[in-house]
Chain A
Amino acid sequence: MNGVTPTGNGSVLRADRVSKWFGEVIAVNDCSLDLGPGVTGLLGLNGAGKTTLFKLLSGLITPSQGEVLVRGRALRREVGLFRGIGFCPESDALFDWLTGREFLTLMIRLMGFDGPESKIRCDRALELVRLSHAADARIGGYSKGMRQKIKMAQALAHDPEIIFLDEPLNGMDPVSRRDIAGLVKQLGDEGKCVVVSSHILPEIETMTRSIVLIHHGKLMAEGDITEIRDAIHDHPTIVAFDSPEPRRLASFLAGQELVMGVELDDLGRVVARTEHAVIFYRELPAKLLEADIPVSEFRTLDDNLQAVFDYLVGE
C-alpha cells in the first residue's frame, strides 16, 4: 500500500500550500500534498527543506503560510490531534538517566493514558521492537540500534494513525534493519499513514515505492517511483531482455512505436529505451506472444529510486 493520494481522497494528512521561512531564507516554498494510509518516503538532498517539511507535517513548527491538516482539522490549532501522531526523531532525543521502561511509560502517559493502560502499552511496544530484554536497563547504556528501537517504540506505543520516522534505520545492524523495515511496511499495510525520511535511498526502497521528493524547498515529485520514472521524458527508461533469440527480439523491438532505440549489451541482453514504460509494459507481453518471440526475463534497469532521484535532482 502506498501513501501518496493525488486527489485528496482518503487523505489523512494534508499540507495546504505550506511555506516556511527563517528570516530571509525560504526553507519550504508553497508545498501542497495529500498523504493517505501507507508508507511514503520523504526525500531530498541536504538543505533541500526535507527536515523543515518533516517538522511542519508533524506539527512541530508552525508554517509561515498555509496549513497542515489532519483529517481536515488544523494540526497546530488543536493540541488533541497530536494524540493521533507518532514521532520518531532523527536526533538522540532520549533521556539517558531513565530506563527504557520508564522512558516509554512517561511518553505513553503524556498521551493521556493512565497507569495500568500505560503498562500494557509499554510492554506491547517493547515487544514490537524486540527490546523487552533491555527494558529495565538505563538508556544511557543502550547501543545505537537499541536507542533507535526505543525511539520507534515511543512513536508506536499509543497506536497512532500518522507516524513520522526520521532516519529510522540509522545505526542499526542488518538484522534490526530488516526487522524495522518489515515493521514499517506492516504498519503501512495495516492502514497507518507512515512518513519516512531518509537520505539512504535503498533503505526507503525496502519500505515503499511511494515517495515525495523535495528540492530547493519545493515539491519536485510525488507518487509511485515507477510512475514518476515514466514521467521523466528527458531520460528514457532502459529495459533489459533475456532471450534465446536476441537478434530477432531486437529487430522486433526496433519496429515498435514506443521504443526509441535498441542495442545488444556485453552480456548478450537486448536493451531497449522507451519514454512510456508503463504503457510499454502493459502492451509488450501480448505483442511478444503474438510474434512468438521467446523472452525469459525482462526488467527495468533504471526505475529504481536512486535513478529517479538522480534524474530529477540532477546533482
Chain B
Amino acid sequence: MPVYERGYRSWEHSGGAGTPAWWAIARRGITDPLKSRRFLLLLVVAWVPAIVKGGILYFTFKMGELSKLIGGNWTDISSPGFRSFLEWQTPFVLIILAIVGSGLITKDKAENGLALYFSRPLGVRDYVMGKGAITLFYYFCVTLFPVLGLCVFGYLVTNGATGMDMLLLIPLKSLVYCTISGVCYSLVLLALSSVGTRTVFVALWWVLLFATDGLAEIMAMFAPSLKILDFPGQHLNMGVLFLGGDGIKGVAPVVSLLIVVLWMAAGALVLRRRVRPVEVVS
C-alpha cells in the first residue's frame, strides 16, 4: 500500500470566529420575509396603532381639551397605558409571528435541511437561538419598538415634562416584559414548528393557541380560575407585574408569570426532543 501523506497540508481549523452560527441563521431569517412587499405592508399596518397613539398624544398636548373628548388609554402615557397598547398589538403578534415563525423548523425538516445545519460547527442550541432570534425580532417589531418610539416621541412632544419615566423607566419595564413574553412566544412557536410537518398546520395550531382567549372566557363563566388557560391573556396579565394596570380578575399576575415560564419550559423541552441532526432510522 502506498504512503498517503505526500505533500498534504494539514488542515489548521482556520475557519475563523467571524460570525457566530446563531447570528448567521438569524440574519438570514430576518431578511427573508422583508423581500415580500405584502409582509412589509403588514409591518406598516402593525405600526398604525402606534402612529395613531402618537398623533393623539401630540394633539392632546397641543389642544388639551381633546383628551377629554377621546379619553381612555389612547391618551394615557403612563406604564398601564403602554400595557394597554401592547394588548392592542396582540392580533399583530398572532399574524406576524404565524407568518414568520410557522415554517422556521418545519421547512428545514421537510427539506431535510437539518443535516446541512448540523454537519457544520453548530449545536442544537445555536440553531434554536438563531431561529428564536428571528421570531423575537419580529415580536419586538410590533411591540417593543413601537413602545420605544412612542416613549421618545412623547418625551419630545411634552418637552421633557414626563421626565425619566418616559425616557428610562417605561422603556426598561417594557423591555423586560417584552423579552419574557417574546421568548415565551418564540419557544412555543418554534416547538410547534418542530412538531409540525406542514407550515399551514403549524400556523393553525398557533391560531388555536390564541383562540384560547375566547375559550377561557366562556369556561371562566363556570370556574373563574380556568382563565389560566388563556394563553395570550397570561402574557398580558403578567404585564401587570411590570407595567401596572388591571389584569385578569381571579388570576394573580405572579401566577401568570409562572404559567408563562411553564410554557417556555414546555417549548424548550419539545425543541430538545424534536430538533435532531438527522431523523432516526427505525
Contacts and interface: CB of A to CB of B under 8 A. Distances in A.
A96 B19 CA distance: 24
Interface in A103-126: 106-107, 109-115, 117-118
Contacts of A252: none
A186 B270 CA distance: 44
A92 B112 contact: yes
A58 B6 CA distance: 24
A36 B4 contact: yes
Interface stretch (B24-32, B42-50, B58-66, B70-78): B24-32
Interface string B10-28: 1101011111010011011
Given A95-B111, A158-B15, A109 B32 contact: no
Contacts of A208: none
A196 to B, nearest CB: 16
Interface string A190-220: 0100000000000000000000000000000
Contacts of A51: 281
A179 interface: no
Given A1-B4, A10-B4, A113 B19 contact: yes
B112 to A, nearest CB: 4
A298 interface: no
A89 B114 CA distance: 11
Interface in B161-220: none
Contacts of A96: 111
A91 B110 CA distance: 11
A112 B18 contact: yes
A160 B14 CA distance: 10
Given A94-B111, A97-B32, A158-B15, A89 B116 contact: yes
A136 B146 CA distance: 35
Given A83-B13, A102-B28, A110 B18 contact: no
Interface residues of B, number: 42
Interface stretch (B79-87, B120-128, B131-139, B251-259): B120-128
B189 to A, nearest CB: 19
A61 interface: yes
Given A92-B111, A97-B32, A113 B15 contact: yes
B134 to A, nearest CB: 13
Given A80-B121, A106-B28, A107-B120, A93 B115 contact: yes
Contacts of A7: 1
Given A102-B28, A112-B18, A113-B19, A52 B281 contact: yes
Contacts, number: 137
Contacts of B15: 80, 83, 111-113, 158
Contacts of A161: 10-11
Contact of B1 (A6, A91, A107, A160): A6
Nearest to B29: A106
B116 A93 contact: yes
A27 B281 contact: yes
A94 B6 CA distance: 36
Interface residues on A, range: 35 or more
Contacts of A107: 116, 120
B18 A117 contact: yes
Contacts of A23: 282
Interface string A1-35: 11101110110000000000011010100000000
A158 B11 CA distance: 11
A217 B115 CA distance: 22
Given A59-B119, A109-B24, A112-B19, A38 B112 contact: no
Contacts of B119: 58-60, 82, 85-87, 89, 164
Interface in A47-83: 51-52, 55, 58-61, 71, 79-83
Contacts of A118: 19
B69 interface: no
A1 to B, nearest CB: 7
A37 interface: yes
Nearest to A161: B11
Contacts of B112: 89, 91-93
B115 A89 contact: yes
A154 B116 contact: yes
Contacts of A117: 16, 18
B3 interface: yes
A293 to B, nearest CB: 32
A79 B123 contact: yes
Closest A-B pairs by Cβ, 7 of them: A114-B18, A87-B119, A191-B8, A83-B15, A109-B24, A161-B11, A36-B4
30 contacts: A2-B4, A5-B4, A9-B3, A9-B4, A22-B281, A37-B4, A37-B8, A38-B4, A51-B281, A60-B119, A84-B11, A86-B119, A87-B115, A89-B116, A91-B115, A93-B112, A93-B113, A94-B113, A96-B111, A98-B28, A106-B28, A109-B24, A109-B27, A110-B121, A111-B120, A112-B18, A113-B15, A114-B16, A115-B19, A191-B7
Interface of B: 1-11, 13, 15-19, 21, 24-25, 27-28, 32, 107-108, 111-113, 115-123, 277-278, 280-282
